[in-house]
Amino acid sequence: MSFELDGKTYETDDDGYLVNLDEWNEGVAGYMAEQEGIDMTE
């Protein structure tokens, strides 16, 4: 599985976790939270 964000493709495993943890960033966190219905606050 994968998703595209800001022109970059991110690979995920069957459970939806990033395959490459080095790709984790604030934008990815926000996108993934939104997909899960989680409201992220500071």
Q: What domains appear along the chain, each with residue ranges and CATH number?
A: 2-35 (3.30.1420)
Cα 30 to Cα 36: distance, rounded to the nearest angstrom: 10
Q: What is the DSSP letter of 19?
A: S
pLDDT at position 42 is 74
Distances (CA, A) of 41 to 12, 18, 24, 32, 34: 24, 21, 18, 14, 12
pLDDT at position 5 is 97
Token match 């493709």: residue?
9
Per-residue pLDDT tens digits for 1-42: 999 999 999 999 999 999 999 999 999 999 999 999 999 987
pTM of the model: 0.81
Tell me how many degrees the CA angle 32-2-5 measures, rounded to the nearest 5. 55
